[in-house]
A and B are shown apart, each in its own frame.
Chain A
Amino acid sequence: GENVEQHPSTLSVQEGDSAVIKCTYSDSASNYFPWYKQELGKRPQLIIDIRSNVGEKKDQRIAVTLNKTAKHFSLHITETQPEDSAVYFCAPSGGSYIPTFGRGTSLIVHP
């Protein structure tokens, strides 16, 4: 099955700083690369995704970049705000039917 690793496991930043979370996957057939945000006690929700024919996608303060050759994709959050504090999961899929989730990155944004 797909091996998915996220780094770092915890990221602490000051409000206004940028945050970058990296996801490495093993299945070269993967072609869908989403990021989910899970606030404390809540369900995971999709915040941005990218497909393999695109290298970068941006939506306001968040962006995802994909390097298919190196088999990794990254979540970029600029001008972080306290409400960005949450656990972020990557979940590459396409090679199999199953979105495989990383172990998550806990982002803490200090006011």
Chain B
Amino acid sequence: DSGVTQTPKHLITATGQRVTLRCSPRSGDLSVYWYQQSLDQGLQFLIQYYNGEERAKGNILERFSAQQFPDLHSELNLSSLELGDSALYFCASSTGTGGIGELFFGEGSRLTVL
């Protein structure tokens, strides 16, 4: 158990819909990262938050947004869903902010868009 909790584990929805994925980092970790993993793809970085503020942005679509709340949990919002958004979305947390040190991953949220 990594200490990172993600919900829901599985989600099936239709094109055009909106979903919210939730992540609770390990106790004490201030950084939260979101990654997308599609079939036969690596882990594509989406966005990072540190202590409530956006720290870095990757190739995140404009239809996607995220935030980190004062209690440090984070939510990833995906809207106007397309078939190609079907993927495994991982949240990871770490103690620091500079990309140095172990990333602790949650179990992931598997999104299927029909």
| A residues at B contact (CB < 8 Å) | 31-32, 34, 36, 42-46, 49, 89, 91, 93-94, 96-104
A47 nearest CB across to chain B (Å): 10
Please measure, in the bound complex, the distance between the C-alpha atom of A104 and the C-alpha atom of B108, giving whole angstroms.
Answer: 17
**Is B51 engaged at the interface, CB distance under 8 Å to the other chain?**
no
Please measure, in the bound complex, the distance between the C-alpha atom of A89 and the C-alpha atom of B101, giving whole angstroms.
Answer: 15
Query: Would you call B106 and A46 a contact (CB within 8 A)?
Result: no
Q: List the B side residues contacting A46 at CB < 8 Å.
A: 102-103
Q: How many A-B residue pairs have CB under 8 A?
A: 61
Q: A43-B2, A43-B108, A91-B103 in contact; A97/B45 too (CB < 8 A)?
A: no
Q: List the B side residues contacting A101 at CB < 8 Å.
A: 35, 42-45
Q: A89-B42, A94-B99, A97-B48 in contact; A44/B105 too (CB < 8 A)?
A: yes
B-side interface residues, number (CB < 8 Å): 24
User: Which residue of A32, A34, A44, A97 contacts B56 across the interface (Cβ within 8 Å)?
Assistant: A97
Q: List the A side residues contacting B103 at CB < 8 Å.
A: 34, 36, 44, 46, 91, 99
A95 nearest CB across to chain B (Å): 8
Please measure, in the bound complex, the distance between the C-alpha atom of A31 and the C-alpha atom of B99, giving whole angstroms.
Answer: 10
Query: Would you call A97 and B102 a contact (CB within 8 A)?
Result: no
**Is B58 engaged at the interface, CB distance under 8 Å to the other chain?**
yes
Q: List the A side residues contacting B107 at CB < 8 Å.
A: 42-43
Please measure, in the bound complex, the distance between the C-alpha atom of A93 and the C-alpha atom of B107, giving whole angstroms.
Answer: 22
Q: List the A side residues contacting B58 at CB < 8 Å.
A: 98
